[in-house]
Structure 1
């Protein structure tokens, strides 16, 4: 049954924080989404809904948030929705949230495959709702300074990697990640950085097994060529994300080894709240997510398997 309660999308007056409902209560929902949204002052965590009520209560309790008995109740209790669930679940529920007129904080990838991602982006465009993607690194000041400098740097070629071992065991070794591998999970981050730092990507060729190691070759509209290595299954002590740009002026490097990702969350929260209040999405939105998913599908030769993972909390 679809949500039918009328919703007034006009921005509220004054500095009232945005009331955000959270879908999901797994490790990422608890340690990032709930903590970020509950910290304020731009947002408050108003409600949590998950398949397991006990997990929802555990996630909601530190912030005094309500526990919704259904997705429809969550929509009634919030102005905007944040998703921390597998891609297949997000894609289905995001379409319903768009129909209800709710702004959304979306995880990447938008969906488990290109068709699902397109349905989300189409629903967002049809209903005119504000969206923002949790492309974590894009909210860090160091990343933004690198991209600013890259805009002034003539690039001939680039090398990049996003590598870690989190798919081997632990909270991130979820069924959809184990099935689809690094291309669908880590690919959006790295392709996004290359698409901005080097120039718009015209084509992507992929090789390897995404569950072990993917190697991507990107051709950019400005004639530059870049390489991207992706893996979530290698034995590293910590994640390694690095982008190296090369050109006539020499080298420009971006490395996340010393980045404190805690600096990302206040920026993400502030910009999402501002977008909701203004009614205008920024550049890191559902349309951007669809663009990245098209690149992923191109890299996979359109053959990414569709995961119907429902093991979420």
Structure 2
């Protein structure tokens, strides 16, 4: 499968491109970016064509079987529809979009084109956390769950290359980390049927969720935690007691697993649990939370 990359920023440079360039099962077919110098730099590093402009993105779609996206969500959504109409399978970054209408239009375009889709939520594709979540989902009997995602991108001493991201500055932890949290809770507790949101310090958001199976969960999201406090935690409480997961993961390896999942979905025609319809649902839940925050 020939896979192109849309985007050449820090996330593409550090995760997508290394995973595609080092993947034995696909051919890295080219890079497109809005900034020509960024496209040239990343494409040159991997010896693949570097493209820019309106003609360039159509040229990339024309030579690809699939396209991975590493651009801001509201740039991504219309491009996903365009790639699908060109016959490309799509590997999206999270969130699909920050507007449910845009996410729905992208999902509808994918459905009409009959291409495979997948939304990259890191914990769902990192091997250890993926297997742990599947194990908890199989057990059932969960009463409640909780998760926290403490990032420090906006801390005063942060040197993260993602801190300058305009869309993260505007949308904060709710939209950057919220998809990860929901993607971990939903497969175990069920779809979200109710959401209550409250603000904390800086961009911190607290969510209380009700799930289709009757369980509840709580979520804390922030990109403004002190550097020493950053980290991820996940816990479920049920008939067998409490189980928890605290880990870090290799984003490049996780993205490689997502590429494998997209290839398998394209080969078999079976939709993945993390397809674009799931991504649309994440956008709907987060938009409902955002509306409550005002």
TM-score when normalising by structure 2: 0.91
User: Deviation at 1:261?
Assistant: 4.0
Greater helix share, structure number: 2
Q: Which residue of 2 aligns with 1:179?
A: 170
Q: Which residue of 1 aligns with 2:86?
A: 100
Q: Which residue of 2 aligns with 1:120?
A: 106
Task: Tell me how large the CA RMSD over aligned residues is.
Answer: 1.9
Q: How does 1:1-313 map to 2 (within 5 A)?
A: 18-69=1-52, 70-151=56-137, 152-168=139-155, 169=158, 170-173=160-163, 174-208=165-199, 212-237=203-228, 239-257=230-248, 259-301=249-291
User: Deviation at 1:260?
Assistant: 4.0
Q: Secondary structure at the match of 2:291?
A: coil
User: Deviation at 1:211?
Assistant: 5.3
Question: What 5-or-longer segments of structure 1 have no aligned partner?
Answer: 1-17, 305-313
Pair 1:73–1:303, CA change in 2 (3 A):
farther
Q: Is the 8 A contact 1:108 1:133 kept in 2?
A: yes
Q: Is the 8 A contact 2:90 2:118 kept in 1?
A: yes
User: Deviation at 1:21?
Assistant: 1.1
User: Deviation at 1:279?
Assistant: 4.0
With 29-38 and 152-161 compared, the bigger mean Cα shift is at 152-161
Deviations 1:11-54 (A, max 9, x none): xxxxxxx1111111111111111111111211121111111111
User: Deviation at 1:109?
Assistant: 0.6
Q: Is the 8 A contact 1:159 1:228 kept in 2?
A: yes
Question: What 5-or-longer segments of structure 2 have no aligned partner?
Answer: none
Pair 1:261–1:84, CA change in 2 (3 A):
closer
User: Deviation at 1:116?
Assistant: 1.1
CA distance in structure 2 between the aligned counterparts of 1:19 and 1:63, rounded to whole angstroms: 14
Deviations 1:265-311 (A, max 9, x none): 3322222222233344312110110011111112222778xxxxxxx
Q: Is the 8 A contact 2:153 2:223 kept in 1?
A: yes
CA distance in structure 1 between the aligned counterparts of 2:185 and 2:268, rounded to whole angstroms: 29
Pair 1:122–1:302, CA change in 2 (3 A):
farther
User: Deviation at 1:149?
Assistant: 2.6
Deviations 1:141-180 (A, max 9, x none): 2212222231204211222111110234432121111111
CA distance in structure 2 between the aligned counterparts of 1:132 and 1:181, rounded to whole angstroms: 23
Q: Is the 8 A contact 2:98 2:287 kept in 1?
A: no
Pair 1:303–1:208, CA change in 2 (3 A):
closer
Pair 1:262–1:78, CA change in 2 (3 A):
closer
- Size of the aligned set, in residue pairs, is 286
TM-score when normalising by structure 1: 0.86
Q: Which residue of 2 aligns with 1:11?
A: none
Q: Is the 8 A contact 1:206 1:299 kept in 2?
A: yes
Q: Secondary structure at the match of 2:262?
A: helix
